[in-house]
């Protein structure tokens, strides 16, 4: 296919770790959604025209979208360039995959602009080039669902398997605070007791089995973490207040989303998820804490085209 003149793409926010799957589980949310406009230019390379909704660098080498876009251009070996206009709806430091949404939308968008026949799996390494700018690591638990959609399991070799997503209704709450990924990783221990590792391994196995058997409740009940979350909870503003409100309103499980400060809470029907959102908002309003609440199912759609102009 001939390259297009311009295109607009989107990529979803994500929840990573899912409590029981530290650095290896992630899911795509229906909302919020990152939006990226791309315009083909005669001048080779990447230009960042504007970033709306967040104060992020316009220098390509310091920008997640810029680096991911540059990696795809280099892989395609084209003679033209691309201009990016970023619309941030997934806020940096929120814990719901801001950098992953930027990396996924940029990698997917450049490939779509070029008319290249590249699969999400093909694009994953190039999107991870962008993700590494933000987190300092190439973990795919956010980037994979942002590209592929659904619920993703990332193996130690980088292979991504899509799991059958449980029929969950998610309440995601973002207190108005920022926690950097590097800060949240710094509090983790360098070694863990064998008994804790065995518990975590058994729960993760149980979770994967429940996904394949379609048992949404038992999949939620498998969401318990003894390795990372206990060390990260002290960093999370209002986490105990939010958890008490969510579980009291009927949520079956939940935990920190990514590095935080967002958290996610699992219900088995939409009405309960609504109740959980209202209970959390009431508790945070009483505490005087600004916040956002998103209600979502697991989205089967990852990065995708919104509009194009040939």
Model confidence over 164-198: pLDDT tens digits? 999 999 999 999 888 877 788 889 999 999 999 99
- The region of weakest confidence among 17-31, 275-289, 296-310 is 296-310
Question: Cα separation of 266 and 208, whole Å?
Answer: 16
Q: State whether 186 and 262 are in the same domain.
A: yes
pLDDT digit string (tens) for 135-144? 777 889 999 9
* Alpha carbons 148 and 128: distance in angstroms, whole number: 14
Q: Which of 37, 83, 131, 229 is catalytic?
A: 131
Q: Which residues contact 39 (CB under 8 A, 6 or more apart)?
A: 5, 6, 49, 82, 83, 85
Mark whether 158 and 178 lie in a shared domain: no
The CATH number of the domain where 244 resides is what? 3.30.70.890
- Domain match, 14 and 129 both: yes
Q: Which of 8, 85, 181, 272 is catalytic?
A: 181
Residue in the block written with tokens 């960042």: 48
Residue 1 lies in a domain: no
Cβ-based neighbour number of residue 82 at 10 Å: 28
* CB neighbour list of residue 49: distance below 8 Å, 6 or more residues apart: 39, 83, 84, 85
State the pTM of this model: 0.93
pLDDT the model gives residue 181:
78
Asked whether residue 52 is domain-assigned, the answer is yes
Domain that holds residue 52: 6-162+300-309
- Beta strand 151-154 pairing with 45-52: unpaired
Q: Is 131 one of the annotated active-site residues of the chain?
A: yes
With bands split at pLDDT 50, 70 and 90, how would you rate the model's confidence at 1?
low
Look over the chain and give the mean of its residue pLDDT values, rounded to a whole number: 94
Provide the pLDDT for residue 92.
86
186/242: higher pLDDT: 242
Same domain flag for 186 and 115: no
Are 19 and 132 in the same domain? Answer: yes
pLDDT tens readout for residues 61-118? 999 999 999 999 999 999 999 999 999 999 888 899 999 999 999 999 999 999 999 9
Q: What is the CATH number of the domain that holds 131?
A: 3.30.230.10
Residue carrying the six token digits 């315009």: 39
Q: In this predicted structure, what is the pLDDT of residue 177?
A: 84
| Spatial contact of 310 and 5, defined as CB atoms under 8 Å apart | yes
Please check whether residue 163 is in contact with residue 152, taking contact to mean a CB–CB distance below 8 angstroms: yes
| Residue 128 pLDDT grade (very low, low, confident, very high; cuts 50, 70, 90) | very high
> With contact defined as beta carbons under 8 Å apart, do 228 and 17 qualify?
yes
Asked if residue 272 and residue 140 are part of one domain, the reply reads: no
Looking at the structure, tell me whether residues 155 and 273 fall in a common domain: no
Q: Is the pLDDT of residue 162 over 60?
A: yes
Same domain, 196 and 139: no
Percent of the chain with pLDDT over 70: 99
Instruction: Dump the DSSP string for 136-161.
Output: SS---TTHHHHHH-SEEEE-TTS-EE
Show Cβ contacts of residue 120 under 8 Å, excluding neighbours closer than 6 positions.
Answer: 108, 147, 148, 302, 303
Report if residue 42 sits inside a domain: yes
pLDDT at 142: 95
> What is the Cα Rg of the chain in Å?
19
pLDDT value, residue 310: 56
State how far the Cα of 54 lies from the Cα of 298, in Å rounded to an integer.
25
Kindly state the average pLDDT of the residues 252-267. Answer: 96
Look at 3-7, 62-66, 206-210 and tell me which has the smallest mean pLDDT: 3-7
């Amino acid at each position: 296919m001939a390259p297009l003149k311009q295109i607009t793409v989107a990529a979803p926010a994500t929840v990573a770790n899912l409590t029981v799957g530290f650095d290896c589980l992630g899911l795509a949310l229906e909302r919020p959604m990152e939006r990226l406009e791309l315009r083909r230019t005669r001048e080779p390379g990447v230009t960042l025209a504007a970033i709306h909704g967040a104060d992020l660098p316009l220098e390509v080498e310091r920008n997640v979208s810029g680096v991911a876009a540059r990696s795809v251009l280099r892989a395609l070996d084209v003679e033209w360039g691309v201009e990016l206009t970023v619309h941030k709806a997934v806020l940096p430091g929120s814990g719901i995959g801001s950098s992953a949404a930027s990396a996924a939308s940029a990698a997917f968008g450049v490939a779509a602009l070029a008319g290249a026949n590249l699969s999400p799996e093909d694009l994953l390494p190039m999107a991870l080039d962008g993700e590494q700018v933000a987190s300092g690591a190439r973990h795919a638990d956010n980037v994979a669902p942002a590209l592929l959609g659904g619920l993703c399991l990332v193996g130690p070799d980088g292979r991504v398997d899509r799991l059958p997503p449980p029929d969950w209704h998610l309440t995601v709450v973002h207190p108005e605070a920022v926690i950097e990924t590097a800060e949240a990783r710094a509090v983790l221990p360098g070694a863990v007791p064998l008994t804790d590792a065995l518990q975590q391994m058994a729960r993760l196995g149980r979770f994967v089995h429940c996904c394949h058997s379609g048992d949404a409740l038992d999949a939620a009940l498998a969401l318990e973490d003894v390795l990372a979350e206990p060390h990260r909870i002290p960093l999370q503003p209002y986490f105990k207040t939010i958890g008490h409100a969510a579980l009291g309103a009927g949520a079956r499980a939940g935990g920190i989303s990514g590095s935080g400060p967002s958290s996610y809470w699992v219900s088995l029907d939409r009405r309960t998820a609504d109740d959980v959102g209202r209970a959390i908002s009431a508790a945070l309003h009483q505490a005087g804490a600004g916040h956002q609440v998103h209600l979502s199912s697991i989205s089967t759609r990852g990065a995708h085209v919104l509009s194009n102009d040939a």
